[in-house]
Structure 1
Amino acid sequence: MNLLTVVVCTHDRAALLARTLDSLDAARRPAEGVDVLVVANHCRDGTHEMLQARSARPGGLPLRWLAEPKKGKSHALNLALREVRTPLLAFVDDDQRADAGFLQAIVDAAREQPEAALICGRLVPDWDGREPPWVHDPGPYRIYPLPVPTFDCGDAGRWLTPDIALPSGGNAVVRTEWLARIGPFSTELGPVGHDLGGSEDSEWFLRALGVGARLWYAPAMLQRHHVDPERLELGFLMRLARRRTESTVGLPGHEAGTGGVPGWAWRKLGGYAARALLTLRADRRRFYLMRAAAALGEVEGYRRLQRDARLAAGRRP
């Protein structure tokens, strides 16, 4: 049996998925053995045909693929959790490219840190020069987080906790002996198709750490994330900030009551919106519009909790 299975969940991104698989095939292969499992989630763009042809061609890593018809990334992830039999499982997203040393770095980290139930690596944007100049601005009005996942905790390995950093879902390895304790991904969270949902990975990591799993950062596990120029337009960035912030309200570490929207949340929203209207500088306006969108998402998150509480109260005998 191989040591490692790389899991890639995908939805209607055949071209990007092919790049991801190409990068895994080109990476150095550990002697312990690696295979790849792709879960095609409600795909309608030729992904199935591409995977069928690719699984039959020689030379690449052993590739198996499954179709998950129920739309939602968490459904695809949970199917993968049930199917993997190797001691290590690596999650890689379909819009990332693995570095040449990525696979070997996973095996090395697992061997060197036997206490690590979870391992994450470094994830950097795959800049190609088409991005607007402001994305590289390090100043006080920089836009964060960008819709290009970035994770870099330095050049040295270290243990991570939630107060330091949590990786994204496509940048993690888990020892499969822990899966029964951690449980599946929440199907109430996460993207459905290409919408802007999220937080299924954060909730899963927090749950894992809550049952005793330890998270090790291995910087040699390097991936590069695809940059979509359309996602760097202000309108998209604001929609993303609103949706992602809304999804975090109520998660562990972001607990909230169910008594409605706190006054401070409304004040924060109003303050950011006023600053965006009153400033004459483009970088400040962009920054405060993003903060206002995130604050609006927070307000909507509190409203969601209040609705859920009312519904739960109505179901009680």
Structure 2
Amino acid sequence: MDRVAVLVPTLRRPEGLAAALASLMAQEQVGGRLSEIVVVDNDRRPSSRSVVDGFKDASVPVVYVHEPRSGVASARNAGLAATQAPLIAFLDDDEIASPRWLASLLESQASTGADVVFGPIQGRAPGAPEDLRPYLETFFGREGPSADGLIDHPYGCGNSLMVRATALPGDTPFEVRWDHSGGEDDALFAALEARGGRFGWSAGAWVDEVAPAHRANLGYALSRAFAYGQSPSQAAWGRKDLLAVAKWMAVGAAQLVAWGLVALPLVALHRPERARILDRAVRGLGKVLWMPGLEPRFYGTAELQRLDRAAA
């Protein structure tokens, strides 16, 4: 049976990385198929080396890679270059895998024949303001079907299993032009879908995603919601489908006006519901303001700057 490697990109999250690695060492019913865990340190300096060294005697080899070029796509490409495994699983450094996470992904891929399989995420925001915590934990989470099977759309790269030969073509399948804004997985999956690729869901492949303090706030979540809103308009522009661009911009304008009006009194009264309604309004705004150059930056240099501010 095909071997699998788990890629864990990381950026200055020593506690999160240690928890992620510990959860990978505790995986059950994998049957010896886990060949290695590849940790890609995307800091300017190798700041995560000591965490990896703490697992040098673990039952599964942990390969350390330092990729100083800031950016999520560069980090993932560097991780792929460090392994020859035909199956690649992705776990983020703020995610903790449940004991049968990898076994569930492998079983679902085998049963569906999908090129990429995704699993559910339970969002956690322990440092968030009490009134915003339910929204933020839903925002950082991911829900899907209650049973395994093929699905008609992809999710994000975190908590996924990919067949390397079909889903990750070439030496650098993640486009580095998305290094700082994100969206490298959207581009990858759009190209896979155009080639006839298939997506699957693994209902039992649970992970917890623990949002760090500098992300567990309304401003960060709304900037991500704006970027998510940009996606359909940007995808239509990429296809040169101007009618679809116009349609999505019109949809976005309607969403912005409708939800914006609902949000005004909730914001004025500081009601907890304001977060969910503002989320919908800014997703509409993203569909309108989708143009190149307007993408928010969440990774690479931008994330390093946020971490520097948080540490100051």
Give the alignment partner of residue 298 of structure 1, picking from 284, 287, 298.
287
Structure 1 pair 296–144 and aligned structure 2 pair: CA distance change class (3 A): farther
**C-alpha displacement at 1:21, in angstroms?**
0.2
Deviations 1:73-104 (A, max 9, x none): 01111222333211211011111111111222
Measure, in 1, the Cα distance between the counterparts of 2:250 and 2:124: 41
Aligned to 2:173: 184
Q: Which has the larger radius of gyration?
A: 1
**C-alpha displacement at 1:295, in angstroms?**
2.8
Task: Note the residue ranges of structure 1 that are not aligned, 5 or more in a row.
Answer: 137-142, 306-317
Please list, as runs of the form range in 1=range in 2, the aligned pairs for 1:101-140 lying within 5 A after superposition: 101-113=100-112, 115-126=113-124, 132=130, 135-136=133-134
Give the alignment partner of residue 273 of structure 1, picking from 246, 260, 277.
260
Aligned to 2:193: 209
**C-alpha displacement at 1:17, in angstroms?**
0.6
TM-score normalised by length of structure 1: 0.76
8 Å CA contact 2:116, 2:198 repeated in 1: yes
**C-alpha displacement at 1:273, in angstroms?**
3.1
Aligned to 1:72: 71
**2:162 is the counterpart of 1:161:** no
**C-alpha displacement at 1:298, in angstroms?**
2.8
* Identical counterparts, % of pairs: 22
**2:139 is the counterpart of 1:151:** no
Measure, in 2, the Cα distance between the counterparts of 1:130 and 1:303: 32
Q: Paired residues, what number?
A: 286
Measure, in 2, the Cα distance between the counterparts of 1:145 and 1:291: 16
Q: Give the secondary-structure state (helix, strand or coil) at the position aligned to 2:203.
A: strand
**C-alpha displacement at 1:7, in angstroms?**
0.6
Letter in 1 for 2:260: A
Give the alignment partner of residue 239 of structure 1, picking from 223, 244, 257.
223
**Range 13-22 or range 122-131, more displaced:** 122-131
Please list, as runs of the form range in 1=range in 2, the aligned pairs for 1:76-115 lying within 5 A after superposition: 76-113=75-112, 115=113
Deviations 1:159-196 (A, max 9, x none): 1112xxx2221111111221227971222225x3xxxx
TM-score normalised by length of structure 2: 0.77
* CA-based RMSD: 3.3
Deviations 1:244-270 (A, max 9, x none): 4335531259966378x9566445434
Q: Give the secondary-structure state (helix, strand or coil) at the position aligned to 2:84.
A: coil
Q: Give the secondary-structure state (helix, strand or coil) at the position aligned to 2:188.
A: helix
Structure 1 pair 221–169 and aligned structure 2 pair: CA distance change class (3 A): same
8 Å CA contact 2:252, 2:286 repeated in 1: no
**C-alpha displacement at 1:26, in angstroms?**
1.4
Task: Note the residue ranges of structure 2 that are not aligned, 5 or more in a row.
Answer: 295-312
Letter in 2 for 1:54: G
Measure, in 2, the Cα distance between the counterparts of 1:238 and 1:135: 14
Aligned to 2:302: none
Please list, as runs of the form range in 1=range in 2, the aligned pairs for 1:217-256 lying within 5 A after superposition: 217-228=201-212, 231-246=215-230, 249-251=233-235
Aligned to 2:23: 23
Structure 1 pair 50–116 and aligned structure 2 pair: CA distance change class (3 A): same
**C-alpha displacement at 1:152, in angstroms?**
2.9
**Range 15-24 or range 202-211, more displaced:** 202-211
Please list, as runs of the form range in 1=range in 2, the aligned pairs for 1:54-65 lying within 5 A after superposition: 54-55=54-55, 57-65=56-64
Measure, in 2, the Cα distance between the counterparts of 1:19 and 1:49: 14
Structure 1 pair 293–152 and aligned structure 2 pair: CA distance change class (3 A): same
Measure, in 2, the Cα distance between the counterparts of 1:100 and 1:262: 43
